[in-house]
A = this chain, B = another copy of it.
């Protein structure tokens, strides 16, 4: 059903995006069209990546998922960086972290928990991920922020570049650990049995879909970024709110849907892996990569979030770790995460 809706959305959305932007339709209308089109295209990119991952086997497949899993977010952010919208990029990174941990995690636990009294997932993965969340969000994000108060802008950027390089190296090491040296050591039976699935599309079909959808996402993202200012003015939203809530939801819609479906099917390992794994990918790979990419643009981006953004992410990490450390979820834990997301949403809306 999703697939058909996405297909129709693309068939209609892409041409509408082109026409609308040429004819200078109102920004809010264009904004809605662009968002819907990107969500649909992201669904196709996800299916293509999934097919390629199954064909390539677990190692290369894991690598593919780890690199292309947040491609849409990356593409939108690069265009926003190019347009000099650094605070929007930082806000949308924040929004992705909050959205994955609190909204996706919360909805998965809550909806899954309405059907099942208790849902279990691999506790080793949860602990491994907890360590990485502390490293990425708490250590690597907080540190440049605290030092930025005492450093000049050039030194602050130098520190951000160092932090970014170290994070990408550690992200690669984490893949090596998970896919090579300790494959199966901590994994649950589910992940090991993952290889049984059959790919939806053939290798070439998947590659072509991936290429075309990526090109289309890039085209629409570039247009989308330029609507932020006017949409914000028209609707009374700050650019930060657009970044933190809207871009984050658009950029991650496809994953959100599949995590909740997995929770509903009681495949809690997969739901947690999507929510937390995707957060780690954003924090340890997309964010540092954007810092490095921004060095080639006019305005470079230091990894220095605003204090509310940073605090929100750190609190989300502590809450998630505290609720997932026992390897067991229920509807109330989901509701707690959603309550935290709602509080943060109100806060950023008022800002």
A residues near B, CB below 8 A?
Answer: 117-118, 124, 127, 130-132, 134-135, 138-140, 142-144, 146-147, 149-151, 155, 158-159, 162-163, 166-167, 169-170, 173-174, 177, 181-182, 185, 307-308, 311-312, 315, 318-319, 321-323, 325-326, 330-333, 335-336, 339-340, 342-344, 346-347, 350-351
Contact = CB atoms under 8 A, between A and B. Distances in A.
A350 B146 contact: no
B155 A350 contact: yes
Nearest to A145: B311
B311 A142 contact: yes
Given A127-B325, A332-B182, A343-B163, A143 B351 contact: no
Nearest to A306: B150
B159 A336 contact: no
27 contacts: A117-B185, A127-B326, A131-B323, A135-B319, A135-B340, A138-B315, A138-B319, A139-B340, A139-B343, A140-B340, A140-B343, A143-B312, A143-B343, A144-B347, A146-B308, A162-B343, A163-B343, A166-B342, A166-B343, A167-B339, A169-B339, A170-B335, A173-B335, A174-B332, A177-B331, A181-B332, A182-B332
A173 B131 contact: no
A150 B349 CA distance: 12
Nearest to A152: B350
Contacts of A174: 332
User: Oligomeric state, in number of copies?
Assistant: 3
A335 B181 CA distance: 14
B347 A143 contact: yes
A79 B347 CA distance: 30
* Chain A interface helix/strand/loop/mixed: helix
A147 B351 contact: yes
A91 to B, nearest CB: 14
A351 B144 CA distance: 11
Leading 8 A-B pairs by shortest Cβ distance: A177-B332, A134-B322, A162-B346, A155-B350, A146-B311, A131-B323, A139-B315, A131-B322
A184 to B, nearest CB: 11
Contact of A339 (B166, B181, B347): B166
A135 B344 contact: no
A350 B307 contact: no
A166 B346 CA distance: 11
